[in-house]
């Protein structure tokens, strides 16, 4: 296990280097002179030359890359052109908002998805199975944009249970410490605000959870079906073990590997792909941060934003890989 | 088998009860929400102030985007001015709902005979939010700061004044003198524009480049907090020079990018006032007794640009034919819910110098076909029609408007292919003259004719806002003459002449002047939407 962990972590180095290279060249592959595009058509030649120099674009590419890499290693993500603030400083509130939302969404997706998948497999071809799988099919193909607006219409306007958008009641704002509001309100012992934050989370988290939930349910079901047909399960049942333990302990442990893979991949997608949810629920997260940067041609922000998301994605999948080994001792690094 | 079914029911019951618990919990927690505003008293920091003045309440304003900067001089973005107009004041004010000039931080003004010297008397006893005195020195400081910056830094200063201001002098503590190199006809209208809000010299010196996040002006509200992409909070300025204003204790500007989601937030009571309402949502809002609709007086024009340098469009007859082909009334009924008027000239009728005598090209497909025949395009031709990818107050849905125009053109045998790009690319390519015909529009900055005709159709503006590459020497002469003339009546006459020529040359199809829609709770009073698009909220009351 230890050698697997070490090897797996070591293998990250080329991955991360490759990642930084791709992001680096991706930005430079955009046609046109970034300095010119940033400043617009009316910019003077001097201004363009100055900005080119400021962005370091007058250097050869390998010098640019190593300067950039050196900066990254010391935690320097560059400076936003629009706000003239260090990105490492301004990125956290957006990232925190995204983490709060996607962790909640993933928790919902995993809890409901895995359980629905298990029950569907357990009672294969029952009405629960049919309904759950039809719902999963609908979920996978759900247009999030429409779903979000419908959620708002039903739960906020007609039933008046939940707020439509934002992270908090702005008339009674949360004082941010960590910018993860669930933690901030608990730290300050403001239970009223804690509930308020939870209420604001429910609709966007469900909207964001819909697709991964459906995918997880379907994968769990098919994986469980396969395992439950195997000999050791028959043996376990034959010796009189209670069905609950057969399913949740013996079968699930063997069926969970493909589910974990999907969870890892979907978590990454949630981080960067939440732009629609963030737009409908006006959630000030990373998706909109990067989207606005694209509109404003704020290249350093686009570059660092993508890099941070990709980095988290790699890390989540590292954890998933380590979990494989913890769950299934047969998995070795070779 | 029975056991199995029993378990399923158990699971179902469990899920149902979970769902119900979830709901009832949120209902329980609804109660504290109502009293949240009173609870502020407990949070310590904000404890004292609201108690004392807790009469006006908090207005939450939902809008489409976040500000780019809180320093009005440094930005051109409309969203930015919506906030800064409440923080900063200008020397001259616009009228409440028009662009006539009124006293602002200056109470009297006088122009020399040749139009080269303007003397302004300043209001006494005004203080900036940080306690600095407002006086002639402060005004000079601001103008020197703007003139020292380049066009990227202070775009509006450079486009409206730039080198035309020779010097700004403090004659005494409350008198400022502007010396110009050439007369600027809309001088006072320019001064009334939001970008020229006077900022505290002390704050600028303290914050330097970070002033755009720490704005200090003399306006009715004081800046409190900015959470990017989320909200901006401003609070009542206790020492504001106008007695009894502002009525509200604070205003929170929330960015809610999606139009329908913003309306949902209003309907559920999370926000009090929203802009950027879809025209198609107006009947729904009008049917809701808790809400009301506001119409912003028009100061815009939506048009289809006919790039004058491309293919058949080089021919004036073809451009006139296309003008005859468009049914503007149908457009207004279909996409503007009637909240728009057909555009005849390139500027709306409220602008001084508008020529009433100009007649529109009537909607007449037969006439259009004749003109095409005369131009040698009896069998029509093919062209691209660019559809704006983003909604704007003057263009709620570019794609659908483009489809309607496409059908209009098909009726006279012109085959238009609809094309669209990402917004930045769209503007860039159109500006390079790569579009045959393209949808675009303009909202006026100061209500002067110069701000429409010169900015959009003069040959000097090719490469900036003259996207159609329209070039007419006669128009150019008229516009330059009008720009420099200190005599308003003469200017209006010159602009009227220019509009006649422009109508005949038909560089555009002017489509509509829309009245952008806002909506708010029924309890809002004294909210007067301003034609330039940024609204002063000092008089607004909330019941």
Interface check A167 vs B, CB under 8 A: yes
Instruction: Write out chain B residues lying below 8 Å of A280, CB-based.
Output: 258, 261
Domain that holds residue A311: 87-327
Residue in chain A closest to B40 (alpha carbons) equals A172
- Same domain assignment for residues B343 and B491: yes
Choosing from A26, A43, A73, the residue where a domain stops is A73
pLDDT one-digit tens code per residue, A137-177: 888 888 888 888 989 999 988 898 999 988 888 888 888 88
- Quick: pLDDT tens for B457-512: 999 888 788 999 999 999 999 999 998 888 888 999 999 999 999 999 999 999 99
**Residue A199 touches partner B, C-beta closer than 8 Å:** yes
Cα distance from A141 to chain B (closest Cα, Å)?
22
My answer on whether B244 and B306 are in the same domain is no
- Which of chain A's residues have a Cβ under 8 Å away from the Cβ of B227? 93, 284
Å between A242 CA and nearest CA of chain B: 13
pTM: 0.83
Q: Which of A167, A171, A202 sits opposite B60 (nearest CB)?
A: A171
Distances B48 to B54, B56, B131, B235 between C-alpha atoms, Å: 10, 15, 20, 14
Q: A54 at the B interface (CB within 8 A)? A: no
Q: At what angle do helices A286-295 and A299-327 cross, to 10 degrees?
A: 150
Q: Are residues A54 and A155 in the same domain?
A: no
Measure the CA–CA gap between A155 and A149, rounded to whole angstroms: 10
Inter-chain residue contact B26 with A126, CB threshold 8 Å: no
Q: Are residue B408 and residue B533 in the same domain, yes or no?
A: no
Q: In total, how many domains does chain B have?
A: 3
Closest CB to A288 among B213, B229, B260: B229
Contact A156 B29 (CB under 8 A): no
- Rounded Cα gap, residues B304 and B414, in angstroms: 15
Q: In which domain, by residue range, is B176 found?
A: 88-209
φ/ψ of B418, rounded to 5, equals -80, 130
- How far is the alpha carbon of A331 from chain B, nearest alpha carbon, in Å? 35
Residue A230 confidence (pLDDT)? 84
Q: What's the pLDDT tens digit per position in B128-174? A: 999 999 999 999 999 999 988 876 778 888 888 888 889 999 999 99
Residue B535's CATH number: 3.40.190.10
| Domain shared by B385 and B426, yes or no | yes
Q: Do residues B517 and B296 lie in contact, with contact meaning Cβ atoms separated by under 8 Å? A: yes
CA distances in angstroms from B441 to A154, B79, B295, listed in the order given = 36, 17, 18
Helix (H, G, I), strand (E, B) or coil at A34: helix
- CATH classification at residue A268: 1.10.3720.10
Residues of chain A above pLDDT 90, percent = 18
Tokens of A132: 């759950």
pLDDT at B214 over 50: yes
CB atoms within 10 A of CB B538: 20
- Domain membership of residue B348 (yes or no) is yes
Helical H runs in B358-421? Answer: 365-374, 398-410
Mean pLDDT calculated for residue range B368-374: 92
Mutate: best of A192, A203, A295, partner B, most B CBs <10 A: A192
Asked whether A172 and A196 are in contact (CB, 8 A), the reply is yes
C-alpha distance from A261 to closest chain B C-alpha (Å): 27
| A126, A160, A173 ranked by CB distance to B268: nearest | A160
- Whichever domain contains B414, its CATH number is 3.10.105.10
Q: List, for residues B298-346, the tens digit of each pLDDT value.
A: 999 999 999 999 989 999 999 999 999 999 999 999 999 889 999 999 9
pLDDT the model gives residue B28: 37
Domain count, chain A: 2
Residue A334 within a domain: no
Instruction: Judge if A210 and A138 occupy the same domain.
Output: yes
Contact between A297 and A34 under an 8 Å Cβ cutoff? The reply is yes
CB–CB contacts below 8 A, A to B: 141
- Percentage of residues in chain B having pLDDT higher than 90: 65
At what angle are helices A61-73 and A12-28 packed, to 10 degrees? 130
Per CB-CB distance under 8 Å, the chain B contacts of A93 are 227-228
Do B36 and A192 count as a contact with CB atoms less than 8 A apart? yes
Q: Is B94 helix (H, G, I), strand (E, B) or coil?
A: strand
Is there a domain that residue B502 lies in?
yes
CB contact under 8 A, A195 and B32: yes
Residue at a domain's end among B152, B176, B209:
B209
Q: How far apart are CA A114 and CA A106, in angstroms?
A: 11
């Amino acid at each position: 296990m230890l050698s697997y962990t070490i090897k797996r972590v070591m293998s990250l180095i080329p991955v991360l280097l490759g990642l930084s290279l791709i992001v680096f060249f991706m930005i430079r592959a955009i046609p046109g002179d970034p300095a010119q595009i940033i400043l617009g058509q009316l910019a003077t030649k001097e201004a363009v030359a100055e900005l080119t120099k400021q962005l370091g674009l007058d250097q050869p590419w390998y010098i640019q890359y190593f300067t950039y890499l050196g900066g990254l290693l010391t935690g320097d993500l560059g400076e936003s052109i629009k706000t003239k603030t260090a990105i490492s400083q301004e990125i956290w509130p957006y990232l925190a908002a995204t983490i709060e939302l996607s962790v909640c969404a993933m928790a919902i997706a995993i809890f409901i998805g895995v359980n629905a998948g298990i029950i569907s497999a357990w009672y294969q071809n029952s009405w629960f199975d049919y309904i759950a799988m039809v719902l999963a099919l609908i979920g996978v193909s759900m247009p999030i944009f429409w779903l979000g607006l419908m959620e708002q219409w039903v739960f906020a306007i007609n039933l008046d249970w939940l707020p439509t958008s934002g992270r908090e009641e702005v008339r009674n704002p949360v004082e941010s410490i960590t910018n993860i509001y669930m933690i901030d309100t608990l730290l300050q012992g403001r239970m009223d605000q804690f509930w308020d934050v939870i209420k604001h989370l429910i609709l966007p988290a469900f909207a964001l959870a819909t697709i991964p939930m459906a995918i997880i349910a379907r994968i769990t079901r098919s994986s469980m079906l396969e395992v439950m047909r195997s000999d050791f399960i028959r043996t376990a049942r034959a010796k009189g073990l209670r069905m609950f333990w057969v399913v949740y302990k013996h079968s699930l442990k063997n069926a969970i590997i493909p589910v974990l893979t999907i969870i890892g991949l979907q978590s990454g997608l949630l981080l960067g792909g939440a732009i629609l949810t963030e737009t409908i629920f006006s959630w000030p997260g990373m998706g909109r941060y990067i989207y606005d940067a694209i509109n404003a041609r704020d290249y350093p922000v686009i570059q660092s934003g993508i890099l941070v998301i990709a980095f988290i994605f790699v890390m989540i999948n590292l954890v998933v890989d380590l979990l494989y080994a913890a769950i299934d001792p047969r998995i070795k690094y070779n | 088998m029975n056991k199995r079914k029993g378990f399923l029911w158990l699971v179902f019951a469990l899920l149902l009860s979970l769902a119900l618990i979830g709901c009832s919990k949120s209902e329980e927690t609804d109660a504290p929400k109502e009293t949240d505003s009173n609870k502020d008293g407990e949070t310590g920091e904000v404890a004292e102030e609201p108690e004392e003045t807790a009469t006006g309440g908090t207005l939450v304003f939902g809008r489409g985007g976040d500000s780019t900067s809180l320093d009005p001089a440094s930005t051109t973005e409309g969203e930015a001015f919506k906030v800064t107009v409440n923080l900063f004041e200008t020397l001259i004010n616009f009228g409440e709902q028009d662009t006539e000039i009124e006293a602002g931080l200056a109470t009297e003004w006088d122009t020399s005979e040749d139009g080269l010297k303007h003397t302004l008397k300043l209001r006494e006893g005004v203080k900036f939010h940080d306690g600095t005195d407002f006086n002639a020195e402060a005004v000079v400081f601001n103008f020197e700061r703007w003139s020292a910056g380049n066009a990227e830094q202070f775009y509006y200063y450079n486009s409206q004044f730039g080198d035309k201001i020779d010097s700004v002098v403090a004659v005494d503590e409350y008198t400022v003198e502007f010396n110009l190199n050439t007369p600027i006809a809309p001088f006072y209208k320019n001064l009334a524009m939001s970008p020229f809000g006077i900022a505290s010299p002390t704050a600028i010196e303290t914050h330097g480049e970070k002033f755009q996040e720490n704005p200090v002006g003399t306006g009715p509200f004081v800046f409190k907090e900015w959470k990017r992409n989320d909200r901006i909070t401003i609070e009542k300025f206790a020492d504001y020079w106008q007695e009894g204003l502002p009525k509200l204790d604070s205003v929170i500007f929330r960015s809610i990018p999606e139009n329908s989601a913003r309306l949902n937030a209003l309907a559920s009571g999370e926000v009090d006032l929203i802009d950027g309402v879809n025209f198609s949502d107006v009947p729904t809002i009008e049917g809701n007794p808790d809400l009301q609709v506001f119409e912003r007086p028009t100061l815009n024009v939506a048009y289809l640009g006919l790039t004058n340098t491309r293919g058949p469009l080089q021919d004036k007859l073809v451009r006139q034919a296309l003008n005859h082909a468009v049914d503007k009334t149908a457009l207004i009924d279909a996409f503007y819910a009637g909240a728009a008027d057909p555009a005849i000239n390139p500027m709306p009728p409220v602008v001084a110098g508008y020529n009433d005598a100009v007649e529109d090209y009537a909607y007449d497909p037969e006439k259009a076909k004749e003109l095409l025949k005369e131009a040698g395009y009896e069998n029509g031709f093919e062209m691209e029609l660019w559809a704006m990818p983003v909604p704007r107050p003057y263009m709620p849905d570019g794609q659908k408007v483009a489809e309607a125009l496409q059908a209009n053109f098909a009726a006279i045998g012109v085959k238009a292919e609809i094309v669209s790009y990402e917004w930045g690319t769209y503007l860039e390519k159109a500006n390079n003259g790569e579009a045959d015909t393209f949808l675009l529009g303009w909202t006026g900055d100061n209500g002067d004719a110069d701000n429409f005709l010169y900015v959009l159709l003069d040959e000097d503006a090719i490469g900036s806002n003259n996207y159609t590459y329209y070039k007419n020497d006669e128009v150019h002469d008229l516009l330059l003459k009008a720009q420099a003339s200190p005599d308003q009546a003469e200017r209006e006459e010159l602009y009227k002449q220019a509009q006649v020529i422009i109508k005949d040359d038909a560089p555009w199809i002017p489509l509509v002047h829309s009245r952008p829609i806002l909506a708010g709770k029924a309890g809002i009073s004294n909210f007067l939407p301003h034609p330039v698009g940024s609204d002063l909220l000092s008089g607004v009351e909330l019941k």
